[in-house]
Each structure stands twice: as C-alpha cells, then as structure tokens.
Amino acid sequence: MDTNGSMDNGETEQHTQQHQQQQPAFDNVDITSPDEENENDIFESAIQEPLSPVLEDVPTDEAGDTFIEIAVADPQKVGDGMGSYLAYKVSTKTNILKFKKRQFFTMRRFSDFLGLHDLLVSKYLRMGRIIPPAPEKNIIGTTKVKMGSQPQSDPGTGVNLEWIENRRASLERFLNRVAQHPILCQDTDFVNFLESDQELPRAVNTAALSGAGVMRLFNKVGETVNKITYKMDENDPWFNDKINEVETIDAHMQKLHSAIKALVSHRKELATLTGGVAKSAALLSTCEEHTGLSQALSQLADVEEKVELLRSEQANSDLYILSETIKDYIGLFGAIKDVFHERVKVFQNWQHAQLQLTKKRENKAKLELQERRDKLEFAQKEVEEWEGKVQRCQKEFDDISSEIKKEMERFELARARDFKSTIIKYLEDQMAHQQQQMRYWEAIVPVARDIA
C-alpha cells in the first residue's frame, strides 16, 4: 500500500532533527576449545574522550554542501483488527546524487523501520560501524491500535496517542541519524527505503511474538553471557580507556534519564494540582460578596489556569526536548558496546585460527617424523590454508580496530553538536515559560492592590 511521489513546495516537511541497555563491555569464553566445527567463523555477528568543549567551541553545522532532511509524519491506521498497522509518511529533501529526486515521500510501517535497521546491522556492524538503534516496540500500544481502542483525532483513521507521537519522533530521529552517517546514507537499502514507490518485503523477523522473535531473545541472552564471560587481553590502551569512558557516561546518562522522568512526572502532577487551585478559586469568587475580593479571586483563578497550561508545556519540554535525547543516546551507547564486542569476536576468530594453525603444524611435524609421505601433501595444504586464515583474521581485526577509532571520533563530534543544540533549545524554552509566568503574575498584582 506504500505510495511515493514528489512533493510540491507547500507540502515540503521542514521539521528536521540533527542526530539519537546497558550491557557490560567484555569480561571469559575458552577459545582453546578443541571443537573444530565451523572453523571459518565460529562466532556469529553480535546484535546487541569525555565531552569537554564548552558550548561556544562546538560547531553547529556539518562541513560540506550536501544535505538530507527527513520528516516522519501523519501516522495512519491501515486495515482493521489484529491485521491492522500504523503507516507513517516519510518525506525526504536532499541534494545527494545517490537519490533520483530532490524531494519525495513514501509511506512506511513500523516493521519497515526495524527491517532497515536489521539490514544495516548485518552489513556494517562487522566492519566496526556504529548503527543508530531503532525505536523500541510497544506491544501494549500496538495492540490498542489494532483493536481500535485508541482515541482518534478525526472520524477517519487519524490517531493521536502520546506513545504514537513518541514513536513518530523516535522514527524521525532514527532516520536522520542514519542519514548523517557518511556511509550509511549512501546505502542501497536506505536509499530504497526512502525513495522506492514499492512496498518493502515484510520484515517478519521483527514481530515481537513470532518464533523468530523468541529465537532472537535466546541469541541475545547468549550474546550477553558471552560479553560477561569473555575477557580479552587488550594491547591497545585506547580501547581500554574508551570502553571505561563509554561505561561511565552511559551509567550517568541512565541516572539522568531516570531523574528527568521523575521531573516530568512531578511537573505533570504540579500542573494538575495548579488546575485544582484554579477551580477552587473560581468557585470561591462566585460566592464572595466583597466585589473587589471576588474580582481578585476570579483573576487568580484565571492566572492559575494559565499557569497550569505552562507547567504542562514545561513537562512536555522536559520529555520531548531533553528526556528523549538522553534516551536516544543511551541506545547509541548500547550500539557502541555492540561494536566493541564485535571487535572482541573478530579477535576470538583470529585466536581460534592461530590455535588451529598450531595444531596443523604439529600434525605435519608428527607425520614428518613418522615418514608418512602419503599424508604429508595434504597436511602441508592444511597448514597453508590456516596460514591464510590467520592472515585474513588479523587483517579483519586491524581493520575493525581502525574503523572503530574513526567512528568514535565522528560520533563524539556529532554528540557535542547534538547536545549543544538540545541544551540551547531546552534553556530557551524554559526561559520563555518562566518569563510568560512572570507576566501572568505581574498582571494580577494591581487587581490585588485595588481590594478596598
């Protein structure tokens, strides 16, 4: 049902946002296991410097003339019952030559986003690239939408739930973070996701309750155990320092996110209580016989009602500007840990290859001592084969180590820009609310002073 087309200037979506489970880094799997099955690659791909510049020193814009802006909007329910789903309008504006058009849009469902993430992980994680995490599933919210129990903004299919807005914004940030990566933004699957007018193949493996979903859960448990039990003898101090830094920042971000969530809850409760004060003051003003006092109470009720709205807006500011950014970066630090763990697995492959090469050489030496010339030729071929594997594994380890350092440098620059933009926007929003609240209170002071 996906549709795609060029947009008129009036339809162009200008909303753009720049740049978005805690697991232990690594710590012992026995790589000396005699099991020689699956020798080419015994480990499957893993799925699963402090910020120091002051704000004035952090550049705001990327260098270069190319740009890409992606907006996700208009969530619409398609179908009825348990077979229904939400589709989102994905609008793109870009001058990257990889794309056929400069402005276009398409409709994508949530599983399409998860499928895109899985494709990027399968192609780039083993190379050491940081893949922005896809938004989390919401089984309860999805079920409510499927069963048609959600409130609707229109008699049609428009939906207007808070969690849907959260998901829409998360999907938009996910796509824009992928788009800001110099390699991922050129990926064929990413371009096809944004530009194709065809419905994408159903990403059935993304279903939370599918058999594949259960298998993914078991695989993640196995990966987590491997991360905890394996300790790598690190020869590069850069990685030791960076792993410790990532763990520390991630832990503090988790605490900050929890604190902001508590603040959001407090502000919402305070807004509700303020609304209660407004209603009580209004009722009191209606039965107050003193004219001046009645007018003052009525004005107080009006101001408290306005302050209630301001406090609700402040709670939304805490949530959508600050909390969601922190949540995104918790996910990004999880993606960084996945990349570090992928390097460990490449190292494991290298060590396994070296171990097998040693065994093959020892076997060849025994055959030479026994003068088993009939088997020496085959033994020599095995030695040469494993020598080649050792060289390839070592090169893969060197390549992923080098790529991770480049990725971390790019990530830290982007993180500084992202947090600069977020902090400035949050401060300006908070100041605007405080100034508006001051104006409300100042307006009622003369009325109170006029009480005879």
* Contact predicate 138/163, CB 8 Å: yes
pLDDT at residue 425 tops 60: yes
Q: What is the pLDDT of residue 375?
A: 87
The crossing angle, in degrees rounded to 10, of helices 162-179 and 110-124 is: 30
List the domain range (segments joined by +) for residue 411: 236-451
> What is the percent of the chain where pLDDT is above 70?
73
Let me know whether 367 and 252 are in one domain: yes
* Whether 241 and 390 share a structural domain: yes
**Do 139 and 256 have their domain in common?**
no
Q: How far apart are the first and last CA of the chain?
A: 70
Is 447 in the same domain as 339? yes
Q: What is the mean pLDDT of the chain?
A: 81
Report the pLDDT averaged over residues 308-318: 94
pLDDT tens track for 260-302: 999 999 999 999 999 999 999 999 999 988 989 999 999 999 9
Rounded Cα distance, 87 and 422, in Å: 28
Q: Which residues contact 384 (CB under 8 A, 6 or more apart)?
A: none
Q: Of 72-81, 276-285, 365-374, where does the model show the most confidence?
A: 276-285
Bridge partners of residue 90, in order along the sequence: 72, 106
Domain count for the chain: 2
Look at residue 273 and tell me if it is in a domain.
yes
104 bridge partner residues: 92
The whole-angstrom separation of Cα 160 and Cα 150 is 8
430 and 373, same structural domain? Answer: yes
In angstroms, the CA 98 to CA 201 distance is 22
Please give the average per-residue pLDDT across 72-90, as a whole number.
Answer: 84
Q: Which residue has the tokens 């530009």?
A: 195
Q: Are 275 and 305 in contact (CB under 8 A)?
A: yes
Query: What is residue 349's predicted lDDT score, i.e. its pLDDT?
Result: 95
In a domain, 259, yes or no: yes
- Give CA angle at 366 (363, 368), nearest 5°: 110
Residue type, 374: D
Q: CA 386, CA 382: separation in Å to the nearest integer?
A: 6
Put residue 79 in one of left, alpha, beta given phi > 0 → left and psi -120 to 50 → alpha.
Answer: left
354: in domain: yes
pTM for this entry: 0.77
- Claim to verify: residue 316 and residue 446 sit in the same structural domain: yes
Instruction: Report yes or no: 140 and 79 within 8 Å, Cβ to Cβ.
Output: no
Same domain, 267 and 411: yes
Closest CA to 179 of 107, 101, 71: 71
14 lies in some domain: no
pLDDT for the residue numbered 231? 65
Indicate the SS3 state at residue 180: coil
Do 281 and 184 fall into the same domain? no
Residues 194 and 243 in one domain: no
SS3 of residue 394 by DSSP: helix
CATH code for the domain of 347: 1.20.1270.60
| Residue 289 and residue 196 in one domain | no
3 neighbors 196 (Cβ within 8 angstroms): no
The reply to whether 227 falls in a domain is no
Check which CATH number belongs to the domain holding 171 and give it.
3.30.1520.10
Maximum C-alpha span of the chain:
120
pLDDT digits 0-9 by tens, 114-171: 999 999 999 999 999 999 999 887 665 566 665 564 444 443 434 446 778 888 999 9
